[in-house]
Amino acid sequence: MPSMVVVQGSGQPTRRVDPRKVHSIICNRKKGEEDQFLVRWKSEIKFASNPPLSWHSLNEIYGCLELLQDYVETWSRVLNVAASRLHPPTKRSTPDSEGESERRASPYINGRSSTPGSRASPVTSVHTTSSFSSTAYSENSTTYIDVYNGVLESKDGLISCRNVSRADIPEILIKNVPTPDMANVARRLGRGGIQNANILIRAAYTRKLEQVPGKKIHLVNVVDSSSPSLRFQYINDYVLRDGVHRVDPAAQVGCTKCSPHMGRDIGCEYTKKCDCLEYAAVDESRITSPEEKEKYQDAIATGKPTMGFPKKFPYFAEGTKVQHARCLVPFYLHSRRPIYECNDRCRCGPNCRNKNVQFGRTVELEIFRTQGGRGWGLRCKTKLYEGQFIDTYRGEIITDAEATRREDSANTKAKASYLYSLDKFAESEGLEPEDCYVVDGEFMGGPSKFINHSCEPNCRQYTVSYNKHDCRVYDIAFFACRDIAKGEELTFDYLDKEDEEEMENPGEDAIPCLCGAKKCRKWLWT
């Protein structure tokens, strides 16, 4: 693949199509040395059978890279469908048509297509609102038609096209586009254009990654020439949709008995003093005296606060083993206990040992194309230690009803791969399933979107809260559940099942698991 795209120019100021008025990109060709793509414009007439169409260079459609990516990804299929029109199924002749040759209907209407081998006279098909014009020619091996069903306009440097029906303007029905001739040209001469389009798309996606906060995110693909969807939007925090509300920030409280300097200059030092651990799990193994056991059992039975009982901070503090600093302690790593971090209202200072996930990702990641049909994957550029934080799962927070609607409209169980229910506290807080929010990371989120499933994962997701009084909105954080070598693919269990849990019998629309693990459950969604 070439390392750069050279766009031929005429020395005139660059004009680009107005992306707001483009419907789609539906074909490509080579005109001289220039790669061109056929733009279908939005029509003022809904469901128009002959919307405006025009050919444009890669430079001119640069603002429509998402639509260009749509076309590139379906290029072969689109051309195969078009080519099939050239040889329709043979029909038996009726008695009164015997002896007549069967002709393929012309894709052009009003008889405006030139016959093979003939040359049409140049006709102007542009309405100019500034100094911009283009010429349309007949479509054959030596001449070209540049505009169909309309006229081009240029205003403020943006090109658009509007419907116009006139004797000198070639017309074509959209159902016939691309025509077999267009498909043939695209297949024979358009591969270079597709290759150059992929280079532009890859460069655009790389620029998106450069805008993501934190350590650098790389993009690697040695399998094919594709790139992840340009429509995916990287965000730094949740986006709350209709019907979703956080607890009033005024309800957030911090620890009041701690300080930045309590002995080792690491903020909170004593779990019995840190108010942020009020709802954190009690370390029952450290309750040894009969009196304390009795008090603890009474607190559990009556719902009394558990402050004062032995608890643990979730992370190893600085000054312990270097590889363990900020990593999860076993008490949390090997359980599903929720993690409560200190927050900005705390008196423990900005560098408290109990602050980690809220600082964001600190490891360098690589999005890469996997083998075996598993799409894109994620791996780390450095070794990860057991319990080390990787990144959070971000996206839109939607209601349960909206999540159900999106699943139904997707018409595939694969949609569940992007939905994550925020139901960690449903049982303890008496929340009904329909009252819990759901995170949808399909269209916006972070690089963790690309973490694939495995029945034997090396990562695990944990609940992390910065506001102990908000049981419906909290972070989902990925941590390494074992040491992970540099370059090893990151995976987690989409179903979050324990080893002893059984899978349901697969239905007709079940999705097979492709993780390849020795203990693979064979099915992802049943």
Task: Give residue-wise pLDDT tens across range 319-345.
Answer: 776 668 899 999 999 999 999 999 999
Residue 86: name the closest of 110, 111, 103 by CA: 103
Distance of alpha carbon 458 from alpha carbon 484, whole angstroms: 7
Distance separating alpha carbons of residues 89 and 81, to the nearest angstrom: 13
The confidence score (pLDDT) of residue 44 equals 82
User: Is the full-model pTM beyond 0.95?
Assistant: no
Beta-bridge mates of residue 389: 479
pLDDT in tens, 88-144: 555 444 444 443 333 334 444 444 443 333 333 333 333 433 333 333 334 444 578
**Which one, of 174, 176, 185, 28, lies nearest residue 88 by Cα?**
176
Comparing CA positions, the residue from 469, 452, 460 lying closest to residue 520 is 452
Instruction: Point out which residues pair with 396 in neighbouring strands.
Output: 239, 440
Sheet holding 150-155, edge to edge: 16-17, 158-163, 150-155
Whether residue 234 lies in the annotated active site: no
Q: Which residues contact 282 (CB under 8 A, 6 or more apart)?
A: 296, 306, 309, 310, 311
Q: Does 420 qualify as catalytic in the annotation?
A: no
Collapsed DSSP state (helix, strand, coil) of residue 104: coil
CA 482 to chain centroid, in Å, comes to 27
SS3 296: helix
* CA dist 525 → 8, 417, 458, 496, 511 (Å): 49, 9, 20, 12, 5
Q: Which of 238, 315, 393, 420 is catalytic?
A: 393
Give the pLDDT of residue 142.
Answer: 52
CATH 2.40.50.40 boundaries in the chain: 16-85+109-208
Of 364, 365, 386, which is closest to residue 482 (Cα–Cα)? 386
For 301, phi then psi, to 5°, come to -70, -35
Backbone φ/ψ region at 47: left (φ over 0), alpha (ψ -120 to 50), beta? left
Looking at residue 203, what is its pLDDT? Answer: 97
Distance CA 524, CA 526 (A): 7
CATH number for the domain formed by residue range(s) 212-246+358-497: 2.170.270.10
CA Rg, the chain, in Å? 30
Token pair listed for 306: 């558990």
pLDDT at 479: 98
- Beta carbons within 10 angstroms of residue 331's beta carbon: 16
Could you write out the DSSP letters of every residue in 16-54?
EE-GGGEEEEEEEEEETTEEEEEEEEP-SSTT-SS--EE
User: CA-to-CA distance for 253 and 259, rounded, in angstroms?
Assistant: 15
Helix residue ranges, H only, 422-490: 426-429
Domain 16-85+109-208 classification at class level: mainly beta
Residue 327 three-state SS: coil
Residues of the chain with CATH 2.170.270.10: 212-246+358-497
Token look-up 């894109």 returns 376
Alpha helices in 150-289 (DSSP H): 180-189, 191-210
Whole-number Å distance between alpha carbons of 116 and 139: 9
| 110 three-class SS | coil
Residue 264, pLDDT score: 85
Positions in the chain whose pLDDT score sits under 70: 1-13, 83, 85-142, 321-323, 497-504, 526
Q: Which H or E element spans position 397?
A: strand 396-398
Spatial separation of the C-alpha atoms in residues 460 and 480, rounded to whole Å: 6
β 135-136/123-124 pair status: antiparallel
Question: What's the CA dihedral at 252, 255, 256, 257 to 10 degrees?
Answer: 170
Task: Tell me the Ramachandran region of residue 333: left when phi exceeds 0, alpha when psi lies from -120 to 50, beta otherwise.
Answer: alpha
